[in-house]
């Protein structure tokens, strides 16, 4: 598993793509930010990998969106 993580990080650095490392659940998470997308690449101890992509619809919101977000996603 470690070799796969190092290969990915090396490739991201070679391509000058921003990433951040984290640990969640029972995995190492590589969070990648590229224009219009964010990727979550999880490496698990049993050697499987899960990738989730979050893709922007291109809509840019103004400051009023903050109140709407809080009203929708708070207790």
Lowest mean pLDDT among 5-9, 17-21, 58-62: 58-62
Q: Which residues pair with 34 in a beta bridge?
A: 37
Instruction: Determine the structural domain holding residue 52 and report its residue range.
Output: 2-72
What does pTM read for this prediction?
A: 0.81
What is the token pair recorded at 62?
A: 């103004």
8: three-class secondary structure by DSSP: helix
In this prediction, residue 31 has a pLDDT band, given cuts at 50, 70 and 90, of: very high
46 closest CA partner among 30, 66, 28: 28
Spatial distance between the Cα atoms of 52 and 31, rounded to a whole number of angstroms: 10
CATH number for the domain spanning 32: value is: 3.30.310
Spatial distance between the Cα atoms of 23 and 73, rounded to a whole number of angstroms: 24
Spatial distance between the Cα atoms of 74 and 67, rounded to a whole number of angstroms: 11
How large a percentage of the chain has pLDDT more than 90? 88
Give the total number of structural domains in the chain: 1
């Amino acid at each position: 598993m470690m070799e796969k993580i190092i290969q990915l990080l090396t490739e991201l650095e070679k391509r000058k793509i921003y990433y951040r490392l984290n640990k969640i659940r029972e995995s190492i998470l590589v969070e990648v930010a590229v224009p219009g997308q964010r990727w979550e690449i999880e490496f698990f101890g049993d050697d499987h990998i899960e990738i989730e992509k979050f893709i922007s619809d291109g809509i840019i919101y103004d400051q009023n969106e903050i109140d709407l977000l809080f009203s929708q996603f708070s207790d």
